[in-house]
Amino acid sequence: MPVNLNEIRELFFEESFDNLDRMESNLLDLENGNVDDELINSIFRGAHSIKGGAGIFDFEHIISFSHIMETLLDDLRHGERIITQSLIDLLLRSVDALRMMVSALKGNSDYDVQEVQVCQDDLQEILKAPLEKAPVIQAASSPTEITTPHPNEEEPSHTEEDFLPSVVDKGWHIVFKPDLSMLKTGNDPINLFDELACLGKLTVKVDTSQVPAFPDLDVQACYLSWELTLYADVERALIDDVFEWVEDECQLDITPLIPPTQPLGETVSSLQNGKEAVPAVDKNDKSVPPLEKNDESALEKGEISSVKTEPPPKHTVLTHNVTHHATEANSIRVSIDKIDDLINMVGELVITQSMLEQIGNNFNSSQTEQLRDGLSQLERNSRELQESVMRIRMLPISFSFNRFPRLVHNLSLQLNKKVELKLSGEHTELDKTVLEKMSDPLVHLVRNALDHGIETPAMRQAVGKSETGTLHLHAFHQGGNIIIQISDDGAGFDLKKIRAKAIGQGLLNQDDHPSKEQLYDFIFHPGFTTVAQVSDLSGRGVGMDVVRRNIRALGGTIEIQSKPGQGSTFRIRLPLTLAILDGQLVRVGKEIYILSLLSIIESLRVKPKLVNSYTGLAEVYRLRDEYIPILRLYDLFGITPNTTQLAQGILVIVEGENQKMGLFVDELLSQQQIVIKSLENNYKKIPGISAATILGDGSVALILDVAELIQLFHAKTKTQASHSTTFMDSLL
Amino acid sequence: MNSDTTQTADKYLTFFLTKEEYAVDILRVQEIKGWSQVTTIPNTPKYICGVINLRGTIVPIIDLRLRFNLPCQEYGAMTVVIVVKVLSQDAKERIMGIVVDAVSDVYDVAENEIKPPPNFGSVINTEFVRGLATVDEKMVIVLDLDRLLNSAELAIVESLSQ
DSSP 8-state symbol, A140: P
Q: What is the pLDDT of residue A277?
A: 41
Q: Give all strands of the β-sheet with A600-605 in edge-to-edge order.
A: A600-605, A650-656, A659-665, A626-632, A618-623, A611-614
- DSSP H or E stretch at residue A648: none
Between A and B, how many CB-CB pairs are < 8 A? 75
pLDDT tens-place string over residues B82-124: 999 988 776 678 889 999 988 988 998 888 888 888 777 655 6
Cβ of residue B159 closer than 8 Å to a chain A Cβ? yes
DSSP 8-state symbol, A25: H
In contact, A71 and A295? CB cutoff 8 Å: no
pLDDT along chain A (732 residues), means of 10: 63 82 80 72 83 79 84 79 78 85 81 80 78 43 40 40 45 80 74 77 80 78 80 75 74 71 43 43 43 43 41 39 43 81 89 89 84 87 82 82 83 84 85 82 85 84 86 82 87 80 77 76 72 50 74 81 85 76 88 87 87 79 86 86 84 83 90 82 81 85 87 80 50 47
The partner residues of B50 in beta bridges, in order of sequence, read B61
Q: Is residue A186 left, alpha or beta, with left meaning phi > 0 and alpha meaning psi from -120 to 50? A: left
CA atoms within 13 A on the CB side of A398: 8
Q: What is the pLDDT of residue A71?
A: 83
Collect all residues of chain B within an 8 Å Cβ-Cβ radius of residue A681.
Answer: 57-58, 94
Measure in Å the smallest separation between the Cα of B92 and chain A Cα atoms: 9
Collect all residues of chain A within an 8 Å Cβ-Cβ radius of residue B40.
Answer: 591, 639
A640: nearest CA in chain B?
B42
Which of A677, A685, A692 has the CB atom closest to B159's CB atom? A685
Measure in Å the smallest separation between the Cα of B102 and chain A Cα atoms: 24
According to DSSP, the β-strands at A700-704 and A591-596 are parallel
Predicted ipTM? Answer: 0.81
DSSP 8-state symbol, B28: G
DSSP 3-state of A675: strand
Taking the C-alpha atoms of residue A159 and residue A137, their distance in angstroms, rounded to an integer, is 9
Collect all residues of chain A within an 8 Å Cβ-Cβ radius of residue B52.
Answer: 700
In contact, B80 and B99? CB cutoff 8 Å: yes
Taking the C-alpha atoms of residue A37 and residue A76, their distance in angstroms, rounded to an integer, is 9
Select the residue from B58, B93, B159 to test the A interface by mutation, using most A Cβ atoms within 10 A.
B58
Collect all residues of chain A within an 8 Å Cβ-Cβ radius of residue B155.
Answer: 684
- The amino acid that residue A632 corresponds to is R
CB–CB contact B43 A683 (8 Å) = no
Cβ of residue B41 closer than 8 Å to a chain A Cβ? yes
In contact, B126 and B58? CB cutoff 8 Å: no
Measure in Å the smallest separation between the Cα of A355 and chain B Cα atoms: 28
Q: In terms of residues, how long is chain B?
A: 162
Measure in Å the smallest separation between the Cα of B94 and chain A Cα atoms: 5
Q: What is the pLDDT of residue A5?
A: 65
Comparing CA positions, the residue from B142, B66, B146 lying closest to residue B107 is B142
According to DSSP, the β-strands at A689-694 and A580-588 are unpaired
Identify the sign of the CA torsion A77, A81, A85, A91.
Answer: negative
DSSP 3-state of B105: strand
CB–CB contact B39 A684 (8 Å) = no
In contact, B151 and B128? CB cutoff 8 Å: yes
CB–CB contact B39 A698 (8 Å) = no
Q: What is the CATH number of domain B10-154?
A: 2.40.50.180
DSSP 8-state symbol, A451: I
Collect all residues of chain A within an 8 Å Cβ-Cβ radius of residue B85.
Answer: none
Q: At what angle do helices A432-448 and A404-415 cross, to 10 degrees?
A: 20
- The amino acid that residue A494 corresponds to is D
Cβ of residue A579 closer than 8 Å to a chain B Cβ? no
Cβ of residue A696 closer than 8 Å to a chain B Cβ? no
CB–CB contact A637 B57 (8 Å) = no
Cβ of residue B49 closer than 8 Å to a chain A Cβ? no
CB–CB contact B53 A687 (8 Å) = no
Measure in Å the smallest separation between the Cα of A549 and chain B Cα atoms: 8
Which of B56, B155, B160 has the CB atom closest to A694's CB atom? B56
Domain spans, chain B:
10-154
Cβ of residue A546 closer than 8 Å to a chain B Cβ? yes
Cβ of residue A715 closer than 8 Å to a chain B Cβ? no
Collect all residues of chain B within an 8 Å Cβ-Cβ radius of residue A637.
Answer: 42-43
Taking the C-alpha atoms of residue A330 and residue A618, their distance in angstroms, rounded to an integer, is 48
In contact, A619 and A664? CB cutoff 8 Å: no
Helix ranges, A228-263 (H): 236-242
Cβ of residue B58 closer than 8 Å to a chain A Cβ? yes
Cβ of residue A277 closer than 8 Å to a chain B Cβ? no
CB–CB contact B160 A689 (8 Å) = no
* DSSP structure string for A346-393: HHHHHHHHHHHHHHHHT--GGGHHHHHHHHHHHHHHHHHHHHHHHHHT
Which of B42, B53, B157 has the CB atom closest to A694's CB atom? B53
Task: Show Cβ contacts of residue A623 under 8 Å, excluding neighbours closer than 6 positions.
Answer: A604, A610, A653, A662
Cβ of residue B33 closer than 8 Å to a chain A Cβ? no
Contacts by residues A326-333 (CB-CB < 8 Å, ≥ 24 positions apart):
A326/A436, A326/A439, A326/A440, A327/A13, A327/A14, A327/A17, A327/A103, A327/A106, A328/A436, A329/A14, A329/A17, A331/A10, A331/A14, A332/A392, A332/A393, A332/A395, A332/A432
Identify the sign of the CA torsion A678, A591, A698, A353.
Answer: positive
Q: Which residue has the higher pLDDT, A329 or B133?
A: B133
B37: nearest CA in chain A?
A699
Collect all residues of chain B within an 8 Å Cβ-Cβ radius of residue A685.
Answer: 157, 159
pLDDT tens-place string over residues B19-55: 889 999 999 999 999 888 889 888 888 888 899 988 8
The partner residues of A475 in beta bridges, in order of sequence, read A484
Q: What is the pLDDT of residue A578?
A: 65
Taking the C-alpha atoms of residue A362 and residue A356, their distance in angstroms, rounded to an integer, is 11
Give the N- to C-terminal CA distance of chain B in Å, as an integer: 31
CB–CB contact B159 A680 (8 Å) = yes
Collect all residues of chain A within an 8 Å Cβ-Cβ radius of residue B57.
Answer: 677, 681-682
Collect all residues of chain B within an 8 Å Cβ-Cβ radius of residue A591.
Answer: 39-40
Cβ of residue B106 closer than 8 Å to a chain A Cβ? no
